[in-house]
Amino acid sequence: MLKTRIITSIALVAGFLAALFSASNTIWALITLAATLIGVWEWSNLIKLNKAQMRLNVLIGLSIGLALTFASNTLLAPYHDQIIFSLLGLAAVFWIAMAPIWLISRKKIDHVLGMAALGLLLLLANWVALIGLHDISPWLLLGVLATIWIADSAAYFAGKRFGRHKLAPEISPGKTWEGVAGALIAVSLYGYFLCYYLHYSLWLVVGLWLIVVLSIMGDLFESLLKRQAGVKDSSQLLPGHGGVLDRIDGLIPSLALTLFYIYFPLFANL
């Protein structure tokens, strides 16, 4: 199992880095849209949509994605920035104001259409963030992703070695406060390294802490959905890793709020 997981990881990272630094903006948008739509399908399955509803949900996501990708050639052109702002803003409101309450209450929402709309919102906001951060700089996107990957790895090993106090036993029994501490320490070292060699302000480290908190929240939220659906993984698409949602759960809040923070001064003037 570990060998399979490592082989899959190497293949995913190699393919991702190749696309990150060599694909044009349009190709990058289409590649990440394809991955996003797989996530929409998995989300639809977790909330128990039937096959026809799942196809419709993916079709809606595809239509919105293609319209935004080729907005300059569609009627959406005058409203492109407002749509991006709305997606990121609504996602930010959810993760800041609603998700913490949802995780504490662990309430199951049985309104499948509302849950389907929520999935589209969060996953499309994540897709928009992948495009927006890539447009600013592939290195910026990689830097944010590296923060989440470092935090995830450090949390795993610190939790295995020192874990005693459960973070959210009713949602994800394997996560511990010691793992969270390990993640924050590792990311602090990573942030300090960036600040020292690239001459950034040490306030960057605080920003990276916030990204870690958001990534943990995203991980817990997907774990809650899986627990309520009675499944271990969102799918079996990626050998040793589960599904696309299992790989991007920590990215969904982190990337959207990072881009929202960067773009907010611009969007505020729309």
pLDDT over threshold 70, residue 156: yes
For residue range 34-62, list pLDDT tens digits in order: 999 999 999 999 999 999 999 999 999 99
Which residue type, as a one-letter code, is found at position 227?
Answer: R
pLDDT reported for residue 1: 56
Q: At what angle do helices 25-46 and 2-22 cross, to 10 degrees?
A: 140
pLDDT reported for residue 124: 97
Residue in this structure with the two tokens 């802490």, named with its chain if needed: 209
> What does the alpha-carbon distance between residue 198 and residue 80 come to, in Å, rounded to a whole number?
34
pLDDT reported for residue 150: 95
> What does the alpha-carbon distance between residue 164 and residue 162 come to, in Å, rounded to a whole number?
6
For 152-206, the DSSP string reads HHHHHHHHHHH--SEEETTTEEEEEHHHHHHHHHHHHHHHHHHHHHHT--THHHH
pLDDT reported for residue 239: 77
pLDDT reported for residue 2: 56
> What does the alpha-carbon distance between residue 181 and residue 23 come to, in Å, rounded to a whole number?
36
For residue range 117-149, list pLDDT tens digits in order: 999 999 999 999 999 999 999 999 999 999 999
Token duo for residue 106:
């662990």
Residue in this structure with the two tokens 């951060």, named with its chain if needed: 133
pLDDT over threshold 80, residue 79: no
**Mean pLDDT, the chain, integer:** 91
